[in-house]
Amino acid sequence: MIKVDQEIIPVHQRFAQEYNLGKALKKLNHPEKNIPTINIVGTNGKGSTSLFLAKTLEQKYQKVGLFTSPAFIYHNERIQINGQMISDEDLKKYLQLIEPEIKEFNLTFFEIWTLIMILYFNDQKVDIAAVEAGIGGLKDATNLMSEQVMTLLTSISFDHTEVLGEKIEDIIVQKLGIVKPKTKLIVSHDNLQYQDTIIELLKDKDVQIIWADLFDDVISYQGRNKGLVSKALEVLQIEHNDLNLSPPLGRYTILKSDPKWVIDGAHNLDGITQLIATVKQQNWNPIILFASSTYKNHQEILDLLQQNFDQVYITNFDHFKSWDIRKIKNINKVKDWQVFLKEYSNKDILICGSLYFIPLVYEWFNNRG
């Protein structure tokens, strides 16, 4: 497996004025047309929902593809069939195969991954694929999956506003832009507040809108994700006894129990709000260590954490997307999070924030001497 700190796809551009994956797919005779797809869009919960859905789809389908991001430990995690990650050999093979298209169409980082996924799933003849959007939906590379069975819409809130817009209505437009005409949309229970906007935006697409219920789960914020999957399975007429499935790594992952250390990739206001609700439900008052990427509403998040916990610390981390805590208003600044965690090893700690930070903590914890 190829670890995420190894460069396999050059990050020469992540965003572009013009996206050209559609042109590359046309040149390759549209392999995406052979892949029945369930698209997963939203702000929070996409990764967990996609994983839960893919796992349960195996009850009906022989070959279930899963496309998800970002990767946690290994690049290979992004592309899976029946829970098996794409091999290093296949990953390198497809990357070499599409090198002409990457150059000809100046494909972005996420477009490259999406193209590899499409070709791999097509060659492996998957029966259905759960495909998580990267950012948004309307302009997302995964919107090119033309054989849409249905769309799952997870919790909507503010994130990536520099790309999706500053108003919640703008964000909803971007998310729902992936929904194809005459298909089904399953909506997370916590989006009921946007019901009128969702109905108005889809009125000309002849889309059947189905609202999910909440699901009872020990991790309270996973209740909405499992409720979404449960409703999708009902629509697909797939029986399931329960959804006692473990979430992806980094989503309320317990590193140790006594004292209790938990890592969680909550990194925006809605995610932090849901995380706090889960912690409060468990009557837990840990020390907080938070680290963010840039372009986040840092102060609102920190204010919320400080209102709910006695000790809130912030730190930098080794990644080009890390924030600079020198520019953040917070008394408790940690220069070296590894030293901090060693010093507080006998305390209950909740480590949360960027999904680029949480894997670093996970690896450090498992490899520490």
In percent, how much of the chain has pLDDT > 70? Answer: 94
Say yes or no: 296 and 359 in one domain. Answer: yes
pLDDT band at 104 (very low <50, low <70, confident <90, very high): very high
185 and 327 fall within a common domain: no
pTM equals 0.89
- Check if the beta carbon of residue 259 is closer than 8 Å to that of residue 349: yes
- What does the alpha-carbon distance between residue 74 and residue 270 come to, in Å, rounded to a whole number? 27
Residue 6 located in a structural domain: no
Residue 165 pLDDT grade (very low, low, confident, very high; cuts 50, 70, 90): very low
pLDDT at residue number 337: 96
Residue where a domain terminates, one of 200, 235, 270: 235
Number of structural domains (the chain) is 2
Residue 11 lies in a domain: no
Domain shared by 215 and 116, yes or no = yes
Q: 271 and 206 in one domain? A: no
Q: Which of 96-100, 182-186, 206-210, 316-320 has the lowest mean pLDDT?
A: 316-320
Question: Is residue 97 in some structural domain?
Answer: yes
Domain membership of residue 30 as a residue range: 21-235
d(CA 242, CA 314): 38
Does some domain include residue 245? no
Asked if residue 311 and residue 202 are part of one domain, the reply reads: no
Percent of the chain with pLDDT strictly greater than 90: 61
Query: What CATH number is associated with residue 197?
Result: 3.40.1190.10
Residues 260 and 159 in one domain: no
Q: In the predicted model, is pLDDT for residue 163 greater than 60?
A: no
CATH code of the domain in which 283 resides? 3.90.190.20
Residue 106, pLDDT above cutoff 70: yes
- pLDDT bin (cut points 50, 70, 90) of residue 35 is very high
Contact 264, 358 (CB under 8 A): yes
Domain boundary among 202, 235, 268: 235
